[in-house]
Structure 1
Amino acid sequence: MIPYSLRIIFVLCCAFTSLDVHAANLFSAEAYHSLTADRRASNAGDIVTILVYENSSASNSADTSTNTGFAINGKVSTLYAGNNMAQVGAGDNYGGKGKIERAGRLLAQISASVTDVMSNGDLIVAGDQNIDVNGEKTRIHLKGRVRPVDIAQNNTVLSNRLADAQIDYTGEGFITDRSRPGLIPRFFAWLGLW
């Protein structure tokens, strides 16, 4: 006779062998990185350093000149007054020149997070940098789309490689407030007189 404890072990073994058993795959093709590969951002949540180097300049000039004139001449001859001449003339000269030049330069390094990976593999990145130095607050906000091939081996990418780039640079503080025009110049500018 088979002991009772062996019969229970046998029944349990038969019960567990009838269950479907699935092994977990430890390999993921999407997350695979070679041991010798560099660490570049490739997934949502990864961090990439954006090297912001933006130079912009614009120039616009206009030159306008007009010259108009007309004259009326007349001669009247009468018996009593003799020959009389009348002459009327008018003219207008106008000349105007205008030139607008604007230049801007922004240099910064911002660590941005990958917020999304598009179906074609492009990475959507966004990042903020807030700096406060002696009450002068500066904020840089950056957002854009980058191709993985544009990310260098040291996990950096130039800002001119970002597609649909949005770079906002704002500041506030004593120096920023003093660089803005006062109330009267702003009022005249609003009226279009400045």
Structure 2
Amino acid sequence: MKAALPALAALLLLTACGQAERLSRVGRPPPLSPVTDPTRDPAWRPVSMPMPAPQEAPPLANSLWRPGSRTFLRDQRAAQVGDLITILVSIADEAQLQNRTQRSRTGGEQMGVPNLLGLEASTGRILPNSVSPDRLVNTSSTGNSDGNGTVRRNEQVTLRLAAVITQTLPNGNMVVTGRQEVRVNNELRELTVQGIVRPQDIASDNTIRHDRLAEARISYGGRGALSDIQQPRLGQQLLDILLPF
């Protein structure tokens, strides 16, 4: 019991910290996060991907036209660290799964020693008189299990988000990161997108579809009064984790 007290105290402190943050914004809407450099986020890490073997650039004749350009004077698409690019998120996901498992098991065991070199006559000295040597063990067990699960999901998200190029990989691909916050009344909606894009996939209007992002990380959520109500109480979450039943 004494060994569990420090763990319980630490748990109460963590709970108090979470509650203190919610109490600090009672009567006020959730604050917007300041605009910062994504590369200065402690959770940000440079992306390392497999690279092709380096190739020497072929010699080019004197020309005003640059390879890869879509305009005669300048390519307006994002190409360098710090440039902006618009990501079009259009997700229409629908899935339906149904699974059922049934299991039944019955077992029985019997064990006795009717004759064992005449020693069965001496069992009364060790075991109670009511014990018969030919019926020493008799067990039975029955188990049944029936599980039925159904998953039905229908999601549709359509958004446009401006992202910034945070890194250029050696093979020319670019790492993009975008974040958007919208506050309506006391509810704050957050949208984050991160991934790797090819310059060839960027359209002439400097947009790219989300399905062209490699290692895409798309998150759409929120925090505020409505989100807090939709979450189970802390006590319920704790019981769901600890109770084995």
Q: Distance in 1 between matches of 2:67 and 2:240?
A: 57
Which structure is higher in helix share?
2
TM-score of the pair, normalised by structure 2: 0.51
Deviates more, 1:89-98 or 1:136-145: 89-98
RMSD of Structure 2 on Structure 1 (CA): 3.4
Change (3 A) 1:96 1:31: closer
SS at the partner of 1:50? strand
Q: Distance in 2 between matches of 1:163 and 1:63?
A: 35
User: Share of identical aligned residues, percent?
Assistant: 30
Structure 1: unaligned runs, 5 residues or longer:
1-26, 72-88
Tell me, yes or no, if structure 1 residue 41 matches structure 2 residue 78: yes
Change (3 A) 1:97 1:28: same
Alignment of 1:97-176 (within 5 A): 97-176=148-227
Q: Distance in 1 between matches of 2:178 and 2:98?
A: 37
Write out per-residue CA displacement over residues 11-52 of structure 1, whole angstroms, 9 at most, x where no aligned residue.
Answer: xxxxxxxxxxxxxxxx89699774366621122222110011
Change (3 A) 1:63 1:114: same
SS at the partner of 2:150? strand
- Give the structure 2 partner of residue 20 of structure 1: none
Write out per-residue CA displacement over residues 104-159 of structure 1, whole angstroms, 9 at most, x where no aligned residue.
Answer: 43321111112222222212211111111112111212211101111111110011
Residue identity opposite 1:128 in structure 2: R
Deviates more, 1:94-103 or 1:121-130: 94-103
From 186, 191, 194, give the equivalent of 2:242: 191
Tell me, yes or no, if structure 1 residue 54 matches structure 2 residue 91: yes
Structure 2: unaligned runs, 5 residues or longer:
1-63, 109-139
- Give the structure 2 partner of residue 80 of structure 1: none
From 225, 233, 245, give the equivalent of 1:182: 233
How many residues are treated as equivalent by the alignment?
A: 152
Residue identity opposite 2:189 in structure 1: T
Change (3 A) 1:35 1:59: same
SS at the partner of 2:80? coil
TM-score of the pair, normalised by structure 1: 0.62
Write out per-residue CA displacement over residues 62-104 of structure 1, whole angstroms, 9 at most, x where no aligned residue.
Answer: 3222334579xxxxxxxxxxxxxxxxx9865543312344454
Alignment of 1:12-31 (within 5 A): none
SS at the partner of 2:82? coil
Q: Which has the larger radius of gyration?
A: 1
